[in-house]
Amino acid sequence: MARHLITSAIPYINGIKHLGNLVGSQLPADLYARYQRGRGHEVMFLCATDEHGTPAEIAAAKAGKPVAEYCAEMHDVQAEIAKGFRLSFDHFGRSSSAQNHKLTQHFAGVLAERGFIREVTEMQMYSPTDGRYLPDRYIEGTCPNCGFPDARGDQCDNCTKQLDPVDLINPRSAISGATDLEMRETKHLYLCQSQLQDKIAAWIDSKTDWPVLTTSIAKKWLTDGDGLQDRGITRDLDWGIPVKKGDADWPGMEGKVFYVWFDAPIEYIASAQEWVDAGKGVDWERWWRTDKGADDVTYTQFMGKDNVPFHTLTFPATILGSGEPWKLVDYIKSFNYLNYDGGQFSTSRGRGVFMDQALSILPADYWRWWLLSHAPETSDSEFTWDNFQMSVNKDLADVLGNFVSRVTKFCRSKFGEVIPEGGTWGARENALIAELTQRLQAYEGFMDAMEVRKASSELRAIWVAGNEYLQSAGPWTTIKTDTETAAMQTRLGLNLIRLYAVLSAPFIPDASATMLAAMKTADDQWPTDITGFLTALPAGHAFEVPEVLFGKITDEQREDWQVRFAGTR
């Protein structure tokens, strides 16, 4: 039994996320976690809300609530939506937790002792209108690299280039929109990433199996210009983790907090501590410390491409610079962007489908299937209602749902609600077994490699194989002249439903549970031998005909949703 530590990029607390956020991190991470559990491996799947920094302060101010109260409420909202999408986190933590406060301050102290933090007196933008310094995310403007008009002071979401506020063209306050910004002197801490460049570069070079998207972004930052630059890790904010060296005060840093991108990845570790303190498990260190047993853990991270620089550079610099035996990530699965119907998702314009809205119109499995089968792995992808309707209707309703309905209803009408006995396999059945054996091996290979779209395509082909067998065998015709053979064909079809339930569980867990319940079995062990698996439910075993597994999306529904979620242009 292998051990898998899986983390998803932690979502910002400022509001409900759209489908692009979901498919770029949490959903494929859940797919992989469910698959590894299904194979019998031990899994720790962690996520959290990212609650510090300017996004939290701005969102709380707009909501008219104290920031701590706002974050607590939004954590509960995001946790509930995650449950709605069946995201199977072992723990969904909070970066504002006491555990993350202590651990972040610990890392800062250790890094300072080892000479990897320096104090810098610098000029920073100050807004007389707002009466405060403006940390990077409080400043917006035009990206000097690509011309994107809404770049932030730390990063351009369009081209992923890391920025400093002074780089922006026509900078403005994200709070008030004021443009009368001026530079004033202040003092901050910098993580000396430049001193760790060679070590980080060698570590990234050793990851020859990583996706090109991941390594290309990381290497770009290592080789562009003068290479990896030192990065500020403190901010002039009220909300955040106070700057300390472990438990000790940090002279000159009074009133400052750690930069959100310094403390947020540390929350991955802290969430495991929260998991223990919440009474959900024991011994978090065996997952995170290589001197406590984590050396045999495979650690995989899932994220959108905009998060790659911090996970390949800044967080590894924190871990490596500490000199302590923390577990480094083994594999980073990154994703491109999901766009919406000819443009981008937009909260401000109400454009696109957000996670709560999606669940209000259709069950989670519909969304899970479409998003994963269209995951933006090699390039950006686009959600359109036409494609969504077609995929749901053809894949889920016509292929999988139709198979389950035809087999169970035919058996009930001809043999009753028990698996019939009689007949033996012939050439047609042996050919099906051979195809399924080959396809199962391919499916497992794609899932192990985290090639999400290829895995979904192979799973669909496994569903199709059953339909083609059923159509070719035609038990509804066979029964007219050969009841024994018709019984055998039907028995095989019912066992196929259980096979589909087990193999489909990582993608569509609710439908999987419905199929298992219909077959009146809780046995969801992963198949190791197709022949044995398809004879496991014996003659005489009871079953029931389930409700329609997937209803088709009508043209009227599609047209209504297209209008409802179009937003303002």
Binding-site positions for Zn(2+):
143, 146, 156, 159
325-358 burial, b at 16+ Cβ within 10 Å, e below that, comes to ebbebebbbbbbbbbbbeebbeeeeebbbbbebb
The alpha carbons of the chain give a radius of gyration, in whole angstroms, of 27
Q: Distance between CA 238 and CA 261 in Å, rounded?
A: 16
**Rounded (5°) CA angle 29-272-505:** 30
The annotation places the binding site for ATP at 347
The first and second tokens of residue 283, run together, are: 């011994």
Per the annotation, binding residues are: 143, 146, 156, 159, 347
Q: Is 326 helix (H, G, I), strand (E, B) or coil?
A: strand
Q: How far is CA 177 from CA 129, 138, 150, 165, in A?
A: 9, 10, 12, 15
| Contact by Cβ (8 Å): 118, 253 | no
Distance CA 425, CA 427 (A): 7
Q: Which residues contact 422 (CB under 8 A, 6 or more apart)?
A: 483, 484, 485, 487, 488, 539
Contact 515, 543 (CB under 8 A): no
**Contact (CB, 8 A) for 305 and 298:** no
Alpha carbon separation from 504 to 133, 154, 272, 524 (Å, rounded):
52, 41, 28, 11
117-127 and 132-133 strand pairing = antiparallel
Whole-number Å distance between alpha carbons of 320 and 467: 53
Q: Pairing mode, if any, of strands 182-191 and 231-232?
A: antiparallel
DSSP SS3 for 205: helix
Q: In whole angstroms, give the CA distance from residue 286 to residue 42.
A: 12
Distances (CA, A) of 344 to 307, 348, 351, 466: 18, 11, 8, 39
**Burial profile 431-449: b = 16 or more Cβ within 10 angstroms, e = fewer:** ebbebbeebbebbbebbee
d(Cα 181, Cα 492) in Å, to the nearest integer? Answer: 73
Half-sphere exposure of 564 (CA within 13 A, CB side): 13
Task: Note whether 524 and 516 are within 8 A (CB).
Answer: yes
Q: How far is CA 492 from the centre of its chain?
A: 36
CB 396 within 8 A of CB 57: no
Q: Exposed/middle/buried for 138, CB within 10 Å: 0-12, 13-18, 19+?
A: buried
